[in-house]
Structure 1
Amino acid sequence: MVAIHDVTAGVTLASAAGEASNAWARFRGLMLRKHPGEGSGLVIRPCGSIHMMFMLFSIDAVFFDRDLKVTRVARRVRPWVGLAFGGRGAHGVVELPAGAARETQPGHRLEFTAETGGDS
């Protein structure tokens, strides 16, 4: 799990995001899953576009390049009918609950940090 920060806006987009690390996980994404809940998300890379077939909820999709610079933000992409493209240079996407990327804009810089866990 990773935490995802928009360092330009000074906000945390997800505190516990999964990573799609193989071809099957990238293909599946969040299809047929229940709403991920606040603070969660999924990082898919490489990925330059997404579809919303078999999705059960709307998402915000934050596309980024190899330097973790945001190339495009697709807000409230609708289930079953939505499509989103990352634009020129997109290398990956962060799928988040709808509304989570409200402060994120193209050109912003992202940062991924490993979730440390542990006692509070």
Structure 2
Amino acid sequence: MNQALVRATNQTRGTVLCARLENAGGRAGQNRGLLGREGLEPGTGMLFENGRFTPFMWMHMFFMRFAIDIVFLGRNNAVIKINRRLEPWRVSSVVFGARRALELPAGASDESSTQAGDLIVFDAVD
């Protein structure tokens, strides 16, 4: 995926998981992530991709100022695990097989009824 904004739709449930998802980019962007932000607007989020060829992903909330949902996706963009309302200064689950992670406003996964096993599709935002 490129740097353009994309929409993440839960194809299984027929709901929008995130209307405007920004790609975290390369290593520097992924290290910075959401740090320094005051929060996420509803419908926004950040996409992280596992480009390090590691068999797992995990995220940390060190120095964060707000809670988020983290949705971990496998090779086929199927939801493997969801960490709901992860608070600042916490560490996410270590998720084996995760290829992508979506950081979303706290409650976004519940609002879209997203569950493990659901298929997520990405479309370009105009």
* TM-score, scaled to structure 2: 0.87
Identity of aligned residues (%): 34
In structure 2, stretches of 5+ residues that fail to align are 51-55
**1:36 matched residue in structure 2:** 40
1:6 paired with 2:10, answer yes
CA distance in 1, matches of 2:63, 2:46: 16
Structure 1 consecutive aligned stretches of length 4 or more whose deviation exceeds 6 Å:
none
Return the offset for 1:87. Answer: 2.1
1:55-84, CA deviations, whole angstroms, 9 ceiling, x for partnerless residues? 11000000001210111000000012x111
**2:53 matched residue in structure 1:** none
1:98 paired with 2:106, answer yes
In structure 1, stretches of 5+ residues that fail to align are none
1:52 paired with 2:65, answer no
Asked if structure 2 preserves the Cα contact closer than 8 Å seen for 1:63 and 1:86, the reply is: no
Match 2:93 to one of 85, 89, 114: 85
1:6-64, CA deviations, whole angstroms, 9 ceiling, x for partnerless residues? 11111101111100121011111111212111010000001711000011100000000
CA distance in 2, matches of 1:85, 1:45: 16
CA distance in 2, matches of 1:86, 1:13: 22
Aligned partner letter, 2:107: G
Asked if structure 2 preserves the Cα contact closer than 8 Å seen for 1:71 and 1:86, the reply is: no
1:16 paired with 2:20, answer yes
Aligned partner letter, 1:8: T
Alignment RMSD: 1.2
Aligned partner letter, 1:23: R
Match 1:65 to one of 74, 77, 92: 74
Between 1:25-34 and 1:90-99, the stretch displaced more is 25-34
* TM-score, scaled to structure 1: 0.91
